[in-house]
Amino acid sequence: DAMVIQNPRYQVTQFGKPVTLSCSQTLNHNVMYWYQQKSSQAPKLLFHYYDKDFNNEADTPDNFQSRRPNTSFCFLDIRSPGLGDAAMYLCATSNGQGGPYEQYFGPGTRLTVT
């Protein structure tokens, strides 16, 4: 089945220790998104790729970086995680051709910072 996959589902990292979260998709969608979601809040868009074009939200901290080496994969790098970065990180995809189209969310990675 076509889907959005996130690994790992749970990640524990230490304060200040770099961590990478991964997302892959079999939908062949050209748009990929990374969201941060904290408890009881709406998903907050960090950045998105339209094909290879990277779009950073103005309030996304510099501590957060992303890579999209190909259509199927996208990575979220947190260079120096702080306690405030503990959250659920959601990857999503959509077909951006002639949109708007539905966004498909992955299951998320829950990040704990100790």
Residue ranges in contact with other proteins by CB under 8 A? 31, 33, 40-43, 45, 48, 50, 90, 96, 99-100, 102-108
Closest distance of CB 88 from other proteins, Å = 8
- Residue 37 or residue 72: which is nearer to other proteins going by CB? 37
Tell me, rounded to whole angstroms, the distance of Cα 114 from its chain centroid. Answer: 21
- Residue 71 or residue 79: which is nearer to other proteins going by CB? 71
Dist CA 114 CA 108 (whole Å): 19
Dist CA 89 CA 107 (whole Å): 9
**Residue 63 three-state SS:** coil
- Residue 17 or residue 38: which is nearer to other proteins going by CB? 38
2 burial level (CB within 10 Å; 0-12, 13-18, 19+): exposed
Closest distance of CB 79 from other proteins, Å = 23
Closest distance of CB 104 from other proteins, Å = 8
